């Protein structure tokens, strides 16, 4: 699995998303991706209670701990590399979380238009 170049949606070096909890397809704290990442885990999102409930409702429970996989469960305020399609689905449903553009991989643009990412951009003070 060779990583795609680590470039964000702004055309700059990809910033880290989260190491606590450790996120990313490669579990390297970045929303890096590769050809094997069919889910395109490329959107660095800030979890909200609303989004976590939505994600659970549509079949991807991110909040329940799964100790057998070393997963403590996400809580509001945690940052996580979301699948681009799930983010777009949540945006269409009106419950998308904020995203950190600097930590969102450019491959997210294959699925999510830039204007939608910008509409949900986290404020700089939250970075």
pLDDT tens column, 93-119: 999 999 999 999 999 999 999 999 999
Average pLDDT, rounded, for the chain? 94
Helix (H, G, I), strand (E, B) or coil at 127: coil
Strand partners, 72: none
Q: What is the mean pLDDT of residues 10-38?
A: 96
What CA–CA distance (Å, rounded) separates 120 from 97? 7
Q: What is the mean pLDDT of residues 17-26?
A: 94
pLDDT at residue 126 greater than cutoff 50? no
What CA–CA distance (Å, rounded) separates 97 from 44? 10
54-84 pLDDT, tens digit each: 999 999 999 999 988 888 899 999 999 999 9
């Amino acid at each position: 699995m060779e990583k795609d170049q680590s470039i964000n949606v702004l055309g700059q070096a990809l910033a880290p998303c989260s190491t606590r909890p450790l996120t990313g397809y490669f579990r390297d704290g970045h929303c890096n991706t590769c050809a094997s990442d069919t889910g395109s885990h490329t959107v660095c999102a800030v979890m909200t209670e609303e989004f976590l409930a939505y994600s659970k409702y549509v079949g991807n429970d991110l909040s329940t701990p799964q100790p057998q996989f070393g997963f403590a469960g996400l809580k509001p305020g945690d940052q996580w590399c979301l699948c681009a399609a799930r983010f777009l689905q949540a945006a269409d449903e009106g419950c998308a979380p904020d995203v950190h553009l600097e930590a969102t991989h450019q491959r997210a643009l294959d699925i999510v238009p830039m204007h939608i990412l910008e509409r949900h951009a986290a404020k700089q003070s939250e970075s």
